[in-house]
Amino acid sequence: MPAHTLTLSHTHTHTHSDINSSLSEASWPSGTECVAKYNFQGSTEQDLPFCKGDLLTIIGVTKDPNWYKAKNSVGREGMIPANYVQKREGVKSGGKLSLMPWFHGKITREQAERLLYPPETGLFLARESTNYPGDYTLCVSCDGKVEHYRIIYHDGKLSIDEEEYFDNLMQLVEHYTKDADGLCTRLIKPKLMEGTVAAQDEFSRSGWAMNRKDLKLIQTIGKGEFGDVMVGDYRGTKVAVKCIKHDATAQAFLAEASVMTQLRHTNLVQLLGVIVEERGSLFIVTEYMAKGSLVDYLRSRGRTVLGGECLLKFSLDVCEAMEYLEANNFVHRDLAARNVLVSDDNIAKVSDFGLTKEASSTQDTAKLPVKWTSPEALREKKFSTKSDVWSYGVLLWEIYSFGRVPYPRIPLKEVVPRVEKGYKMEAPDGCPAAVYDLMKQCWTLDPAGRPSFRLLREKLQHIRAKELHL
């Protein structure tokens, strides 16, 4: 990519003794993740060459603030120029991210005209039509006045001129951004709705946007509720890609992706990057978990293959991820064996952050998985780390019963009333008493009486040490 390859003239003579352990305030601390903005060939032995898009981790500062010591993804270390890389940050404005920040919903013609003032040819927004409910209106500033184009909705397609049809507003906007095609001007600058941030801009700013050209989609490996999960190749690395064809649901996935930018733990499925296409497709790229979901893994291998040590290891893996979420004030809300994936080297990692929110928010209870959700969350939408602890108890039960569906032989509608009266599942066959005891503690009706993930992790480690006769 010669257009992006900057040549840097430098006369640095850095040595290991340059690595300064006292960090200045402006510098990036050790462990900071960066993405390369340009190719860097390096000119001395000590330099670490990289290509645009590579992920690098800072491991030390030097006396020269323009250079860092860094490590690449295969562990090679060397010096890198600070201005060639961009720091990766967590996206904090998840709720405000939008694929259509120029869509202002139900506003009137007059409000639209006020928003497009002062005039600027090509400034545009879209709104719901007030005169024709169900249709939309595209409002464009042109030579000092605002034109309002009716977008008709017919047979699932959108059109302004009834010649060109689009599946959604984003495709329509993309088309008229390239070419006026009969409008007074092409669309040049979106008028953003107050309080929204263009998703693409935010992922680019924070260093999480990936280049579509670097991603090859290979084959479908799973069907999620809202789109396919595919295995792909991103610059030589096997990756999993959640492909969300745009519609209203993509918004929820933006929130999932933004939560994932803030989390990093060996036992959480790691986000690698996000691609927001102009036509509205969203790709969420994560590490590839070769052995699929934990529930399928347990069912297919069963008791004959999986020993107690292995079950305990899965329980600990998940518990460690949850301890990390607990410490960082994130509530998962949908913890279950189907949402835990297993890597090639048998590490269990928690995934599906679709419902994960920073602690103390509420949500719609209609779609909740009844058998995994704590009574207070079902009843009063009270989600907390303690409701995750309840679900973790159910997940432990799933692990020790090799993927059975919880509350066997109890009709679904009887589960909640019985649980509320204090009913607890029996220990799965062969489950160690100490592990069953933890399950029961997780199912304490009073959330305050449940153990923390930290305590659960300590107890599980203790059980493991005993089993291994350490």
The reply to whether 222 sits near ligand AMP by the rule CB under 6 A is: yes
The reply to whether 8 sits near ligand AMP by the rule CB under 6 A is: no
The torsion of the CA quartet 244, 246, 249, 252, rounded to 10 degrees, works out to 70
C-beta of residue 355 within 8 angstroms of C-beta of residue 333: yes
242 is in an annotated binding site: yes
In whole angstroms, give the CA distance from residue 325 to residue 459.
18
Nearer to ligand AMP, 258 or 286 (CB): 286
In whole angstroms, give the CA distance from residue 416 to residue 465.
36
State the nearest-atom distance from the C-beta of 294 to ligand AMP, in Å: 9
In whole angstroms, give the CA distance from residue 52 to residue 38.
4
The reply to whether 196 sits near ligand AMP by the rule CB under 6 A is: no
- Binders in 287-316 for ligand AMP, by CB under 6 A: 288-289, 292-293
In whole angstroms, give the CA distance from residue 168 to residue 99.
12
For the chain, report the end-to-end CA distance as a whole number of angstroms.
56
- Binders in 70-129 for ligand AMP, by CB under 6 A: none
The reply to whether 224 sits near ligand AMP by the rule CB under 6 A is: yes
Sequence-distant (≥ 6) Cβ neighbours of residue 470 within 8 angstroms: none
The reply to whether 455 sits near ligand AMP by the rule CB under 6 A is: no
In whole angstroms, give the CA distance from residue 172 to residue 159.
8
State the nearest-atom distance from the C-beta of 298 to ligand AMP, in Å: 13
State the nearest-atom distance from the C-beta of 338 to ligand AMP, in Å: 6
State the nearest-atom distance from the C-beta of 259 to ligand AMP, in Å: 14
The reply to whether 398 sits near ligand AMP by the rule CB under 6 A is: no
Nearer to ligand AMP, 242 or 457 (CB): 242
Binding range to ligand AMP, per CB under 6 A, among 216-224, 433-441, 446-454, 462-470:
216-224
Angle between helices 308-327 and 385-400 (to 10 degrees): 170
Sequence-distant (≥ 6) Cβ neighbours of residue 192 within 8 angstroms: 101, 102, 198
- Count of positions on this chain that bind ligand AMP (CB under 6 A): 14
Binding range to ligand AMP, per CB under 6 A, among 100-108, 131-139, 185-193, 219-227:
219-227
Sequence-distant (≥ 6) Cβ neighbours of residue 455 within 8 angstroms: none
Nearer to ligand AMP, 207 or 227 (CB): 227
Binding range to ligand AMP, per CB under 6 A, among 9-17, 148-156, 217-225, 405-413:
217-225
The amino acid at 241: V
In whole angstroms, give the CA distance from residue 205 to residue 73.
22
Q: Is 231 exposed, middle or buried (0-12, 13-18, 19+ CB in 10 A)?
A: middle
Binding range to ligand AMP, per CB under 6 A, among 10-18, 190-198, 221-229, 452-460:
221-229
Binding range to ligand AMP, per CB under 6 A, among 15-23, 189-197, 281-289, 400-408:
281-289
- Binders in 336-375 for ligand AMP, by CB under 6 A: 341, 351-352
State the nearest-atom distance from the C-beta of 328 to ligand AMP, in Å: 21
Residues in the chain: 470
**Of 221, 252, 359, 445, the one binding ligand AMP by CB under 6 A:** 221
**Can you tell me which residue has the tokens 């933890």?**
438
State the nearest-atom distance from the C-beta of 239 to ligand AMP, in Å: 8
Nearer to ligand AMP, 220 or 361 (CB): 220
Nearer to ligand AMP, 94 or 232 (CB): 232
The reply to whether 419 sits near ligand AMP by the rule CB under 6 A is: no
In whole angstroms, give the CA distance from residue 49 to residue 42.
5
- Binders in 236-255 for ligand AMP, by CB under 6 A: 240
User: In this chain, which residue has its C-beta nearest to ligand AMP?
Assistant: 222
**Can you tell me which residue has the tokens 């009333």?**
417
If we measure between CA atoms, which residue out of 366, 418, 94, 54 comes closest to residue 256?
A: 94
The reply to whether 229 sits near ligand AMP by the rule CB under 6 A is: yes
**Helix, strand or coil for residue 212?**
helix
DSSP 451: P
Q: Is 152 left (phi over 0), alpha (psi -120 to 50) or beta?
A: beta
State the nearest-atom distance from the C-beta of 293 to ligand AMP, in Å: 4
State the nearest-atom distance from the C-beta of 224 to ligand AMP, in Å: 2
Longest dimension (CA), the chain: 82
**Helix, strand or coil for residue 302?**
helix
Active site residues: 334
> Which helix or strand (DSSP H or E) is residue 273 part of?
strand 271-276
In whole angstroms, give the CA distance from residue 231 to residue 242.
9
The reply to whether 269 sits near ligand AMP by the rule CB under 6 A is: yes
Residue stretches of the annotated binding site for ATP: 242
Binding residues for ligand AMP, per CB under 6 A?
Answer: 221-222, 224, 229, 240, 269, 286, 288-289, 292-293, 341, 351-352
